[in-house]
Structure formats: C-alpha cells, structure tokens
Amino acid sequence: MESRNIKRKIRVRRIRKKISGSSTRPRLCIFRSNRYIYAQIINDTEGKTIVSASDLGVKKGSTKERVKIVGEEIAKKCLSKKINEVVFDRSGYKYTGIIKEFCDAARKKGLKF
C-alpha cells in the first residue's frame, strides 16, 4: 500500500505536466507541512522564483489565520511586482480547508487565478 505522500507526489507530477508558468502568467505553487505553509510565484520558462511568502515568522493565531496572512502577503508582493494573474498549482492537495482559505485571501487582495 502506498503512503499518502507518495500518492501526492504522483498527483503533483500529473498536474505539472499540464500546468506551467510564464513571464506573463507565472505559477503560484503552494506547499504545506505539518507546521507551516509556503507559497511561491515561479516563472517556469526562466526557472526562477519571483516572489515567496511563508508563515515562519507568524507565531500567533490559528492555522487558518496564519494562512490568510500568507495569502494576503503573497498577493501584495505580486501586485507590487505588477503580477495580477497567476496559474494556481495546488501541489496535489485537495482544494479544501487551508488551501481554500489561502486562495480566498489572495483573491480578496486582488490576485486573479
């Protein structure tokens, strides 16, 4: 029986075949560990990370509150770099809970998926 993480990595490969970020519409990649959440804006044609954010410095609040802060932070950084449209890469996670909260917070700040 395969573990959950191995199944997620298989889903990641399947999704990444279809999704890629360009300079006009970069890829918003999200990763969540048991403790933190990380987000990156990546230009796949150049292979460079443009913007990144995480909740490493945020110590107070629940997980959902910290995720909302990260979503707002990544949206602010993107808009300051004049990036308003991105391709969303959920990294094999289901679009519920923390991932949905992150997306809703980023959309409220003006980022378009």
pLDDT, tens only, 25-83: 999 999 999 999 999 999 999 999 999 999 998 888 999 999 999 999 999 999 999 99
Tell me how far CA of residue 95 lies from CA of 47, 48, 70, 79, in angstroms. Answer: 26, 26, 17, 24
Q: Break the chain into its structural domains and give their ranges.
A: 30-108
Cβ proximity of 84 and 110 under 8 Å: yes
CATH of domain 30-108: 3.30.420.100
Top-confidence residue, 60 or 106:
106
In this prediction the pTM is 0.87
Residue 16 pLDDT exceeds 70: yes
Amino acid identity, position 1: M
pLDDT confidence band for 1 (50 / 70 / 90): low
CA 57: distance to chain centroid? 17
